[in-house]
Amino acid sequence: MANSLLISVAEHDTRVAMLEEGRLAEFFVERHQQSDPTGNIYKGRVARVLPGLGAAFVDVGLSRPGYLFVEEVSDHYDDFFSFWLLKEKKEANTVPESPVRKLPPAPIEDLLHEGQEIVVQVFRGPMGEKGARLTTHISLPGHYLVFMPSFSHLGVSRRIPDEGERARLKAVLEELKITEGGLIARTASQGQSAEELARERDYLLNLWQVIKRKKDAASPPALLHQDYKAARWVVREIFGPEIKRVVVDDAGTYDQIVQFLGSLSPVYRHQVELYEGTEPIFSHFGVEIDWLKLLAPRVWLKSGGYLMFDTTEALTSIDVNTGKYVGRSQFQETIFKTNLEAAREIARQIRLRNIGGLIVIDFIDLEKPAHRDQVHQTLVEACKRDRAKTTILPMSSLGLVEMTRQRLRDSLYQSATEPCGCCGGLGSMLTPLTLVHDILRQLAGEAREFPGAHLLVTTHPQIATILKQEGEGLINRLAANLQVKVTISQQALVPREYFEIQREWGEGREA
């Protein structure tokens, strides 16, 4: 079954599903009021310089200032050390990270000062409490090319393995090169004619001229260029020979995509369809977007085994378990087959959930080194479909695999969830008995300090019930020995861990 892109545009968000062989492989969601600023270009103002960190805060108009590290300030780089090699490796992100340095960086305070106006691009959006990561190395990505205004070198993506095609594209780029700026031929440029590449080069050059004119007229902080919204961004980054069908349920978005793909090749226009059915587009194509399943910590394997995902600020851990799978042969063969299936599903899940950063996988222990090597190679092969760059280390003798995956955008977990209001994001809560014992200890302390008082305890109904049972003896002793009256009040709308003890005297007067 051919690969497809399904795009659903609603009033408040846009959702995009990529299907591989009819199965959900990648999923994106963008809220219209909370769009990702990655790729945007701003005219900002340096708010603060931090010499000790080699960085500066730059106000670009987002909710919090962005970080600009000294490595991202272009002044101390030689053109010869162009960053396109790094850019190729991170091609799917379209916004480069730090170039290779020729010399140690100059002190940040020698390059920037507070109040300075500067043009920057977001190459990593805000994450949690962290502001956006910024760079002065501007890049404008197209479908076939990336234009870099600050660098004059030409490059061809390393994801194009054929040496003959690489040589041809390099020759084309030599013909297309301009006085100022450099070009990178992206993976999608394979097989494309010089005329098609020239057309996109001209488009990117014109876009840069527009941005420069806006820069001259704008006062910081100001947005100079906004990267494509979700639908067009996904088409620009993902569309290629392997995508045979793009189905959109919104007429306006359909026209934009047809125009964009038509500018690349008239043939592509016929691969875009406008869905006008009454049934929701995802339901029509049998794609179920169930958040509880999509973000569930446990993922069942067809064999009966399962994966357990646990996300922390530092890393994502994935635990492989045999579960219900008992196999039909020896134990080692059973866990070997479970691990092989798990490796393929893990590669799919980290794409689907868009998990980035450090990932540690705890496979079931394998005694044979050959089995460990085969599981590792299966994971490596399964990750080759991923647009994000991955680095996967060999499996250790303990069955652990460490890997990193490039952060393209916020993960689904980050974009679709928030910390629990009851447990504060811990994922667990104190037991009712633990809470009751804490309340009783505090009651005893209050009674000793304020004999004769009336203590009013307000708590959740579940805790109140157990408190009356567990605390009956203590409450009676406080009344007899210290003349303290304890009243327990239930409040159904408070969190289970909430409780309050108030003191009253005489006729209900609060102390």
| DSSP characters over 406-455 | ---S--HHHHH----TTTTTSS----HHHHHHHHHHHHHHHHHHSTT-EE
Residue 272 near residue 261 (C-beta atoms within 8 A):
yes
The region of weakest confidence among 31-45, 54-68, 321-335 is 321-335
Ordered by start, the domain boundaries in the chain are: 3-33+232-284, 41-226, 291-416, 432-510
Q: What is the pLDDT of residue 80?
A: 31
- The pLDDT tens digits of the residues spanning 460-501 come to 999 999 999 999 999 999 999 999 999 999 999 888 889 999
Q: What is the pLDDT of residue 105?
A: 67
Q: What CATH class does 41-226 carry?
A: mainly beta
pLDDT band at 352 (very low <50, low <70, confident <90, very high): very high
- The pLDDT tens digits of the residues spanning 158-207 come to 889 899 999 999 999 999 988 889 999 998 999 999 999 999 999 999 99
The mean pLDDT of 78-87, rounded to a whole number, is 38
Write out the two tokens for 15. 């959702």
CB-facing half-sphere around the CA of 227: CA atoms within 13 A:
27
Question: Cis before residue 221, ω within 30 degrees of 0?
Answer: yes
Beta carbons within 8 Å of 463's beta carbon, 6+ residues apart: 432, 435, 436, 439, 496, 499
pLDDT band at 353 (very low <50, low <70, confident <90, very high): very high
- The pLDDT tens digits of the residues spanning 136-157 come to 999 999 999 999 998 888 999 9
pLDDT band at 327 (very low <50, low <70, confident <90, very high): low
Residue 141 near residue 94 (C-beta atoms within 8 A):
yes
* Topology of the domain covering 3-33+232-284: Nucleotidyltransferase; domain 5 (3.30.420)
The mean pLDDT of 290-300, rounded to a whole number, is 87
Residue 385 to residues 110, 238, 348, 374: CA-CA distances in angstroms?
A: 44, 11, 9, 18
Residue 58 exposed, middle or buried by CB count within 10 Å (0-12, 13-18, 19+) = buried
Query: How high is the mean pLDDT of the chain?
Result: 87
The secondary structure element, H or E, covering residue 291 is: helix 291-294
What are residue 169's phi and psi, to 5 degrees?
Answer: -65, -40
Which position has the higher pLDDT, 370 or 409? 370
Residue 123 near residue 38 (C-beta atoms within 8 A):
yes
Q: What is the pLDDT of residue 234?
A: 85
The mean pLDDT of 420-446, rounded to a whole number, is 86
Which position has the higher pLDDT, 77 or 339? 339
The mean pLDDT of 389-396, rounded to a whole number, is 93
For the chain, give me the number of helices (H) and strands (E)? Answer: 14, 25
Torsion region of 323: left, alpha or beta (phi above 0 gives left; psi -120 to 50 gives alpha): left
The span from the first CA to the last CA of the chain, in angstroms, equals 74
**Amino acid type, 102:** K
Domain 291-416 sits in CATH at 3.40.630
pLDDT band at 97 (very low <50, low <70, confident <90, very high): very low
The region of weakest confidence among 77-91, 156-170, 269-283, 413-427 is 77-91
Classify 510 as helix, strand or coil. strand
Q: What is the pLDDT of residue 76?
A: 43
Angle CA(70)–CA(74)–CA(75) in degrees, nearest 5? 95
Q: What is the pLDDT of residue 127?
A: 77
pLDDT beyond 60 at 370? yes
Bridge partners (DSSP) listed for residue 247: 6, 273
Residue 123 to residues 71, 111, 140, 191: CA-CA distances in angstroms?
A: 13, 20, 12, 29
pLDDT beyond 80 at 120? yes
Q: What is the pLDDT of residue 445?
A: 92
Percent with pLDDT over 90 in the chain: 59
Beta carbons within 8 Å of 195's beta carbon, 6+ residues apart: none
SS (H, E, C) 302-369: CCCCEEEEEECCCCEEEEEECCCCCCCCCHHHHHHHHHHHHHHHHHHHHHHCCCCEEEEEECCCCCCH
Bridge partners (DSSP) listed for residue 509: 505
Q: What is the pLDDT of residue 328?
A: 54
Q: What is the pLDDT of residue 87?
A: 42
Q: Which of these, 175, 207, 178, lies nearest to 193 by C-alpha position?
A: 175
Which position has the higher pLDDT, 236 or 345? 345
Which position has the higher pLDDT, 77 or 465? 465
Beta-strand relationship, 55-59 and 66-69? antiparallel
Bridge partners (DSSP) listed for residue 391: 404
pLDDT beyond 60 at 100? no
Residue listed under structure tokens 């006008």? 276
The mean pLDDT of 439-448, rounded to a whole number, is 93
Q: Does the domain at residues 432-510 carry the CATH identifier 3.40.1260.20?
A: yes
Residue 111 near residue 76 (C-beta atoms within 8 A):
yes
Torsion region of 508: left, alpha or beta (phi above 0 gives left; psi -120 to 50 gives alpha): left
What are residue 379's phi and psi, to 5 degrees?
Answer: -65, -45
Percent with pLDDT over 70 in the chain: 91
How many angstroms separate the CA atoms of 51 and 75, rounded? 17
Residue 229 near residue 30 (C-beta atoms within 8 A):
yes
